[in-house]
DNA sequence: GACTCCACTTAGAAGAGCAAAG
DNA sequence: CTTTGCTCTTCTAAGTGGAGTC
């Protein structure tokens, strides 16, 4: 259906933009705000002062209590110091940032308390920046850029036990930036007095600008927003590949079941890994460089300490207990009954190994993906996550929702289906800090509404009695009373549904699956079938991103 | 195959904005 | 009008997987 517009690999013909937006220069501390070392006031050089501010700004954060963070910060900070400062400042514990910290908090507070007019002025200034830098021209379409602002300097905030947390993230200069645009287009002008590192015209990639970041040495890109045509088409393709898996999955499953008994060790490991990826929606688990990031794993990089085998657990046989840290150091904990063949294989894979050894020592994501792509063009490990997420949503929606339900109930069903996927994919969030309180508040509101309902009912009854006894009273009054009861009931139900939803959602993040794993056409079709406006399940951003699906999907769409 | 580099998607946290409650 | 609580948006880290090289 989608036409191949360009020859292989070409992403655009014309790409024109104004280059990235740079964060403001560092503003030196005012004279009345001081840094102290060992109780003595010390005037820092500008180069050393800026990192001191970064640290002071984070003083309320748990990061600054962690040894690794403090050590990394201190090492990098000392690099920025003058010789004299370095000689003096030798112990972070003797550094006193309280005045800088207080200044920062006051600034935040002041920003919050700006007048309406000042806030509006700020907003307008911001909009001007967006207008100038936030859009580009790609093949005659004006497109929103996703991240047109260069990341400001600061202290690196890695997730989990990151060995590099606290390191100084350096300020990016135009001299670090590679610009990508079409040859004929007007080339973005660097900030005055500066030059770009390079200007290139590579239409086989989609980025507009890039730079190399100093913590891991990886490349960062400026790219289009998710609502752009380019990203939308890619998204559509992703779901089409996942849909294609539907036609292959039965055979693939049969095959890995057979492979569980293969004579070849590598084949058996591949079969077990695929069993996990398919059944549990685990990530592939690429190799990682040790010491460069937190110790996290995916399927292929599982180590034997990450699973425990239980021949019998509670009333179940052959249970595998998973306990490991996945992407973003989110814990994956799950007890899963598996088939006997998988269990026996795992036992064998673990034999003669010790803590730290890989479970699948003959396997890599590369070989696994090679195998997968031989089974179906375009198939890789992550396609299973997309496929299983989307098919689960579709099946759950079918199971949970009724056309006769009211809107609130329908939306609850949708959220529950969404939640089933989020659980499958292990998308978690920290429970909101105010959770307990706001839950209690909601309960109080429900109780109040219950009383109100009782009152409304009593009044209705009273009115009825009056009509009966006198017969002449205004029938409108009776109708009104009845309507009040109905309204009350509906509101109560709505609140109760809301409470259920909230409780079940405490630690689950729905957004990630909604945005990245669930074919939007399933949701759009569901909305059409259930007569629920699409705005009820997708906010503005989501509707923009999924515009392609909202446009093309009919009620009879099947994933 | 192992190693490196690169480009792109996926991820939760934090910050901003906004609406309802007080 | 101010405060509170929630949703939406922004931010950027952390994954996946392809390609090139040896």
Question: What's the pLDDT tens digit per position in A114-171?
Answer: 888 888 888 888 999 999 999 999 998 999 999 999 999 999 999 999 999 999 999 9
Nucleotide nearest to A204 (CA to C1'): B7
**What gap in Å lies between CA A435 and CA A455, rounded to an integer?**
31
**What gap in Å lies between CA A276 and CA A299, rounded to an integer?**
7
A204: Cβ under 7 Å from strand C? no
CA→C1' distance for A413 and C7 (Å): 20
pLDDT of residue A277: 97
pLDDT of residue A228: 95
For A15-22+120-222, CATH gives 2.170.11.10
> Coil, strand or helix: which one is A136?
strand
pLDDT higher than threshold 50 for residue A409: yes
A547 is written with which tokens? 């515009």
How high is the mean pLDDT of chain A? 92
A144 and A134 Cβ atoms separated by less than 8 Å: yes
Mind listing the pLDDT tens digit for each residue in A85-105?
999 999 999 999 999 999 999
**What gap in Å lies between CA A89 and CA A37, rounded to an integer?**
7
Rounded to the nearest 10 degrees, the angle between the axes of helix A365-375 and helix A381-400 is 60
| Domain A35-113 fold | Arc Repressor Mutant, subunit A (1.10.10)
Nucleotide nearest to A429 (CA to C1'): B12
Q: Which of A63, A256, A517, A538 is catalytic?
A: A517
Per the structure, the residues numbered 327 to 386 in protein chain A that have their CB within 7 angstroms of any atom of strand C are 327-329, 365, 369, 373, 380-383
Q: Where are the domains of chain A?
A: 15-22+120-222, 35-113, 230-379, 389-552
CA→C1' distance for A145 and B2 (Å): 37
pLDDT of residue A3: 47
User: Exposed/middle/buried for A412, CB within 10 Å: 0-12, 13-18, 19+?
Assistant: buried
Nucleotide nearest to A422 (CA to C1'): B11
> Coil, strand or helix: which one is A481?
helix
Q: What angle do CA A379, A382, A384 make, to 5 degrees?
A: 75
Nucleotide nearest to A153 (CA to C1'): C12
CA→C1' distance for A241 and B9 (Å): 15
Q: Which CATH class is domain A230-379?
A: alpha beta
pLDDT of residue A474: 65
A166: Cβ under 7 Å from strand C? no
pLDDT of residue A447: 75
Share of chain A above pLDDT 90, in %: 78
Mind listing the pLDDT tens digit for each residue in A284-314?
999 999 889 999 999 999 999 999 999 999 9
Nucleotide nearest to A512 (CA to C1'): B11
pLDDT of residue A208: 97
Strand B bases with any atom < 7 A from protein Cβ: 2, 6-14, 17
- CA A247 to chain CA centroid, nearest Å: 30
pLDDT of residue A424: 96
Q: Among all protein residues, pick the one whose CA is nearest to the C1' atom of C15.
A: A327
Per the structure, the residues numbered 438 to 457 in protein chain A that have their CB within 7 angstroms of any atom of strand C are 438, 441-442
User: Dmax of chain A from CA atoms?
Assistant: 99
Q: Which of A372, A348, A293, A369 is nearest to A326 (CA)?
A: A293
Q: Among all protein residues, pick the one whose CA is nearest to the C1' atom of B6.
A: A219
Residues facing strand B, Cβ within 7 A: A 11, 61, 119, 123, 126, 159, 202, 204-207, 210, 218-219, 221, 223, 231, 234-235, 238, 283, 327-328, 330, 364, 382, 385-386, 425-430, 509, 511-513, 516-517
pLDDT higher than threshold 70 for residue A2: no
Mean pLDDT of A49-73: 96
Mind listing the pLDDT tens digit for each residue in A145-159?
999 999 999 999 999
pLDDT band at A450 (very low <50, low <70, confident <90, very high): confident
A215: Cβ under 7 Å from strand C? yes
Considering the four listed CATH numbers 1.10.260.40, 1.10.132.10, 3.40.50.1100, 3.30.365.10, the one that applies to the domain covering A389-552 is 1.10.132.10
pLDDT higher than threshold 80 for residue A539: yes
pLDDT of residue A100: 96
Handedness of CA A295, A300, A303, A306 (dihedral sign): positive
What are the backbone dihedrals phi and psi of residue A354, each rounded to the nearest 5 degrees, phi first? Answer: -130, 170
pLDDT higher than threshold 90 for residue A182: yes
A147: Cβ under 7 Å from strand C? yes
pLDDT band at A471 (very low <50, low <70, confident <90, very high): low
pLDDT of residue A338: 97
- In order of A316, A471, A472, A475, A542, the CA distances from A480 in angstroms are 58, 17, 16, 9, 40
Q: What angle do CA A34, A40, A42 make, to 5 degrees?
A: 45
Per the structure, the residues numbered 489 to 528 in protein chain A that have their CB within 7 angstroms of any atom of strand C are 511
Strand C bases with any atom < 7 A from protein Cβ: 5-18
pLDDT of residue A113: 84
The neighbour count for residue A552, using CB atoms within 10 Å, is: 12
A294: Cβ under 7 Å from strand C? yes
A63 is written with which tokens? 């990061």
- CA A250 to chain CA centroid, nearest Å: 31
- Does residue A332 carry a catalytic annotation? no
CA→C1' distance for A460 and B13 (Å): 50
Per the structure, the residues numbered 250 to 279 in protein chain A that have their CB within 7 angstroms of any atom of strand C are none
What are the backbone dihedrals phi and psi of residue A379, each rounded to the nearest 5 degrees, phi first? Answer: -80, 125
Q: Among all protein residues, pick the one whose CA is nearest to the C1' atom of C13.
A: A158
pLDDT of residue A475: 65
A42 - beta bridge partners?
Answer: A35
> Coil, strand or helix: which one is A91?
coil
Nucleotide nearest to A221 (CA to C1'): B7
CA→C1' distance for A132 and C8 (Å): 23
CA→C1' distance for A302 and B3 (Å): 21
CA→C1' distance for A161 and C14 (Å): 13
């Amino acid at each position: 259906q989608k036409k191949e517009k360009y020859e292989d690999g070409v992403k655009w013909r014309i790409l024109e933009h104004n280059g990235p937006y740079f964060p403001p220069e560092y503003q030196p501390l005012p004279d009345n705000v001081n840094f102290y070392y060992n109780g003595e006031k010390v005037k820092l050089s500008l180069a050393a002062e800026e990192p001191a501010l970064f640290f002071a700004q984070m003083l309320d954060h748990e990061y600054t209590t962690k040894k690794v963070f403090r050590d990394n910060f201190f090492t990098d900070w000392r690099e920025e110091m003058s010789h004299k400062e370095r000689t003096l400042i030798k112990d972070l514990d003797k550094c006193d940032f309280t005045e800088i910290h207080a200044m920062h908090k006051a600034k935040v507070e002041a920003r919050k308390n700006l007048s309406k007019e000042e806030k509006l002025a700020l907003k307008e200034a911001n909009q001007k920046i967006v207008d100038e830098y936030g859009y580009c021209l790609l093949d005659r379409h004006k497109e929103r850029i996703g991240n047109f602002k260069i990341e400001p300097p600061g202290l690196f905030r890695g997730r989990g036990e990151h060995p590099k947390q606290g390191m100084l993230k350096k300020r990016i200069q135009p001299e670090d930036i590679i610009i990508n645009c079409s040859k004929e287009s007007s080339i973005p002008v660097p900030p005055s007095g500066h030059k770009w590192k390079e200007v290139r015209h590579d239409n086989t990639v989609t980025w507009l600008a890039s730079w190399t970041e100093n913590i891991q040495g990886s490349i960062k890109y400026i790219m289009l927003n998710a609502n752009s045509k380019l990203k939308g088409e890619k998204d559509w393709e992703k779901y089409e590949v996942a849909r294609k898996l539907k036609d292959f999955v039965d055979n693939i499953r049969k095959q890995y079941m057979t492979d569980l008994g293969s004579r070849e060790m590598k084949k058996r490991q591949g079969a077990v890994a695929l069993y996990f990826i398919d059944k549990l929606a685990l990530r592939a688990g690429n190799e990682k460089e040790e010491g460069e990031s937190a110790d996290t794993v995916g399927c292929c990089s599982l180590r034997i300490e990450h699973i425990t085998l239980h021949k019998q657990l509670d009333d179940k046989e052959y249970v595998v207990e998973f306990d490991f840290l996945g992407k973003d150091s989110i814990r994956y904990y799950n007890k899963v009954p598996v088939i006997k063949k998988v269990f026996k294989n795992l036992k064998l894979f673990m034999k003669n190994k010790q803590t730290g050894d890989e479970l699948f020592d003959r396997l890599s994501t590369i070989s696994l993906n090679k195998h997968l792509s031989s089974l179906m063009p375009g198939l890789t490990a992550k396609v299973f996550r997309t496929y299983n997420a989307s098919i689960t949503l579709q099946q759950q929606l079918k199971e949970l929702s009724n056309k006769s339900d009211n809107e609130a109930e329908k939306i609850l069903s949708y959220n529950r289906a969404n939640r089933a996927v989020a659980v499958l994919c292990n998308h978690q969030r920290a429970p909101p800090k105010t959770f307990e309180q706001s839950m209690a508040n909601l309960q109080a509101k429900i109780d109040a509404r219950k009383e109100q309902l009782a009152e409304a009912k009593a009044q209705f009854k009273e009115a009825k009695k009056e009509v009966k006894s006198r017969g002449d009273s205004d029938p409108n009054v009776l109708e009104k009373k009845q309507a009040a009861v109905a309204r009350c009931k509906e509101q109560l139900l709505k609140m109760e549904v809301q409470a259920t939803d909230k409780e079940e959602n405490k630690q689950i993040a729905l957004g990630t699956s909604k945005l990245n794993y669930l074919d939007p056409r399933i949701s759009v079709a569901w909305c059409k079938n259930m007569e629920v406006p699409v705005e009820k399940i997708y906010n503005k951003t989501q509707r923009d991103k999924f515009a392609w699906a909202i446009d093309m999907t009919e009620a009879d769409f099947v994933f």
